[in-house]
């Protein structure tokens, strides 16, 4: 019978208790929503911790590269795609510069992803789709390409050329 109060008592004491009730309902509700919502957002929006570390793939011998004469080299490597690891074919346009540094460009034009090629006569990279032109350093010379050619991370061990991740070039660099 604890819940039955005379009418006059309810009139005076009812309001603060009502406020307590509604406050608790919204407060506890918000706590639960937060405890579910925050992990859900983290789960959906944070990058997966990729446990596959940067994988270096040996793609060629630097002594066999001629200076300033780009060659396209194909190689296979594993790519982690969610819970799957797939082995896929990649290519790189590799250039040895006169100072003996080596640059490996991603094989796609930065405009719409067409495969470009090296024009030996003009000494330029030419994309056949919309005639974007890139210099031997990957800089945009002409055409609609918005940014220079993308580059792979590279390192040289002895004579071996290794490539790592493909890094997108900055716009208008």
Partner 1 sequence: MKQRLESVLNWLDHRTGLPAAYRTFMGERIPASSGWHQILGSVAAFLFLVQAFTGVLLAFNYAPTPGDAYNSLRYILSELTAGRLIRGLHHWGASMIIVVVVLHMIQVFLYGAYKKPREATWMVGVVLLLVTLAYGLTGYLLPWDNRAYWGTVVATQIAASTPVAGPYLTRLLGGAGGVGVVTFARFYALHVLLLPPATMFLIALHIYLVRKHGVAAAPGDELVPTKVFYPAQVFKDTVAIFIAFAILFTMAVAVRVPLEQLADPSDTAYIPRPEWYFLFLFQTLKLFNGPLEVVGSTILPGLAILTLILVPFIDRGQMVKVTRRTVAFTFVALAAIGWTGLTAAAIATTPHEALVTQVDYSAPTDWIELSPQEMAGIAYFREENCVSCHAIGASSLGPDLTRTAIHKDAAWMIRHFKQPAEVRPGSSMPPIALSDSQLNSLAAFLLKLTPENASALENAPEFAARGALVYEANHCSACHMVNGVGMKLGPPLNGLAKRQTRSWVEGHFANPQKLSPGSIMPPYPLSPRDMRDLTTYLFALPE
Binding track, positions 42-81, relative to partner 1; x by CB under 8 A? xxx-x-xxxx-x----------------------------
Q: Name which position in 11, 13, 15, 21 contacts partner 1 (CB under 8 A).
A: 21
The CB-of-82 to partner 1 minimum distance in angstroms stands at 6
Q: Based on the shown chain and the rule CB under 8 A, indicate whether residue 172 belongs to the binding site for partner 1.
A: no
The CB-of-39 to partner 1 minimum distance in angstroms stands at 4
Cα torsion 70, 71, 72, 78: sign: negative
Q: Based on the shown chain and the rule CB under 8 A, indicate whether residue 34 belongs to the binding site for partner 1.
A: no
Q: Which is nearer to partner 1, 54 or 98 (CB)?
A: 54
Cα 147 to Cα 95, 125, 128, 150, 159: the distances in Å are: 19, 14, 17, 8, 31
Q: Based on the shown chain and the rule CB under 8 A, indicate whether residue 89 belongs to the binding site for partner 1.
A: no
The CB-of-155 to partner 1 minimum distance in angstroms stands at 16
Place of tokens 């194909």: 74
For residues 21 and 27, give the distance between their C-alpha atoms in angstroms, rounded to a whole number: 10
Q: Considering only CA atoms, which of 72, 128, 68, 135 is closest in space to residue 102?
A: 68
Q: Which is nearer to partner 1, 24 or 156 (CB)?
A: 24
Cβ atoms 84, 98 nearer than 8 A: no
| Tokens describing residue 70 | 């780009």
For residues 145 and 97, give the distance between their C-alpha atoms in angstroms, rounded to a whole number: 23
The CB-of-99 to partner 1 minimum distance in angstroms stands at 28
Interface contacts to partner 1, rule CB under 8 A: 1, 3-4, 18, 20-22, 24-25, 28-29, 31-32, 35-36, 39-40, 42-44, 46, 48-51, 53, 82-84
């Amino acid at each position: 019978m604890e819940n039955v109060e005379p009418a006059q008592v309810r009139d005076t004491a009812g309001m603060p208790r009502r406020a307590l009730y509604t406050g608790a309902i919204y407060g506890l509700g918000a706590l639960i929503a937060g405890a579910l919502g925050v992990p859900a957002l983290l789960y959906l929006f944070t990058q997966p911790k990729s446990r596959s570390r940067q994988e270096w793939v040996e793609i060629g011998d630097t002594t066999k590269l001629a200076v300033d004469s780009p060659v396209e080299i194909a190689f296979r490597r594993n790519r982690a795609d969610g819970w799957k690891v797939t082995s896929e074919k990649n290519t790189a346009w590799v250039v040895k510069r006169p100072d003996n540094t080596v640059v490996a460009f991603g094989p796609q034009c930065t405009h719409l992803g067409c495969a470009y090629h090296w024009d030996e006569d003009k000494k330029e990279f030419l994309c056949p789709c919309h005639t974007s032109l890139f210099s031997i350093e990957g800089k945009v010379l002409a055409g609609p390409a918005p940014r220079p050619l993308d580059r792979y991370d590279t390192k040289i061990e002895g004579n071996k050329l290794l490539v790592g991740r493909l890094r997108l070039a900055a716009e208008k660099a």
